[in-house]
Chain A
């Protein structure tokens, strides 16, 4: 479990804090979507959880150990795939051989499955790969480390459409029970079907913290004609198909599937009105 306890963090002493007395608890064995527009602090929160940034006040613990201590046992359980990264000038197999001794739970099987799905040649020279392929290589490694806490910052940025499909397949296949995956992204469509839990961040506040099951139980997402906008409609948007609506789910209504973009727009616009 990752516990973010009353943290305050700002990049400079004069600026406004990115997080002010912020709390969050993340449980194990779930796929979390950390959603928000650019610049809302998603990356910052991920770095704080990895111990790469230190909160000015408060602390963050993983399995009850403060991450700022950067203990080996804590770091062995976590891995972050940053949005931008440099890969050394070596072949992918050499890269794996270099880094894997640090992750005792490393699995060759998962690595093989990921590289097959991504169509990545194992002996490719990392510095000669395209940006998308570099991401896929690092993600394959990240998933193969088998760490219980895996953080990804904008994993689908820079991936072309077929690659996004590969990404979804890979995540769906490798999400075992003993893993928590936190995906920070603004590409809602890419992760919609993969999430267990939705976190919406705006201006360093957590606007929503709910499981997908809960959301589909409480709310209905559908498209309605103009005259059907009754009282229980909480938010609506015009689309070519009609009005996309988010409404309170009535007791006997069948559950609908989550429309993440609609939910996000609803939550942020309601927040902007307040």
Chain B
């Protein structure tokens, strides 16, 4: 289809004009994960299991999620800076093509980038450890060691668990896919706020999310339902509504993008 080749044309354009930015981003994630694995994981591996659990899982998720969401929110930074906006908005491509070419980068490219950064960091650490191990005890540790240091950013059924036999691959796939779908809702929300707010949309996005979460918790506490086990229906609502929210936020983001101007005095454009 013509639109598909137009999107490819735009991707080629982005690569040519922004390749330094992408590489810098990759190395930033790689460095963060490297530090996290090498320092935190290592130090706390032998510590109290509770602390280790927290640093391993929660901190890890915060870093990965935060990284993804902030990056995704800044995908459309160009339209908030006058000269870059002139360049981008006058480029001969339709609004839809421009929006979706970057949107796809956001929903596919950025999680991929984060995963690659994680994988690269895990590889390096494993390589270093293997080398040290080999030098010290002449016993190679083996390939699977990489996955000791590679943690899926958002799946509570991790790749490691599958390898170790705790869960079947099918469960892993289903969980991963649903995690991605829910993540899409958050990603499109952050993309929307990144387009609509003239400055630092991701800050407002985080505030909005924490505020809604706080409200939810308050509501649960007040009605006393917080202490009961989560009914399955709530989980279904949460999962399937993400599809609805993804579509909603994507539409809102596209609408804001179409209405973007090179000079936006307004704080927030709808």
Contact = CB atoms under 8 A, between A and B. Distances in A.
Interface of A: 11-12, 47, 50-54, 69-72, 75-76, 78-80, 82, 84-86, 88-90, 94, 97-99, 101-103
A102 B86 contact: no
A86 B94 contact: no
A75 B263 contact: no
Given A12-B265, A53-B262, A98 B83 contact: no
Contacts of A76: 92
25 contacts: A11-B265, A12-B265, A47-B262, A52-B89, A52-B90, A52-B261, A52-B262, A53-B261, A54-B259, A54-B261, A70-B89, A70-B258, A72-B92, A72-B97, A75-B92, A76-B92, A78-B90, A85-B87, A86-B83, A86-B87, A99-B91, A101-B9, A101-B13, A102-B93, A103-B92
Interface residues of B, number: 26
B83 A102 contact: no
Nearest to B259: A54
Interface in B74-93: 83-87, 89-93
Interface of B: 6, 9, 12-13, 16-17, 20, 83-87, 89-95, 97, 258-259, 261-263, 265
A71 B94 contact: yes
Interface of chain A: mostly helix, strand, loop or mixed: loop
Given A11-B265, A102-B13, 17 more contacts: A11-B263, A12-B265, A47-B86, A52-B90, A52-B261, A53-B261, A54-B259, A72-B92, A72-B93, A79-B90, A85-B86, A86-B83, A98-B16, A99-B13, A102-B91, A102-B92, A103-B92
Nearest to A86: B83
Interface of chain B: mostly helix, strand, loop or mixed: helix
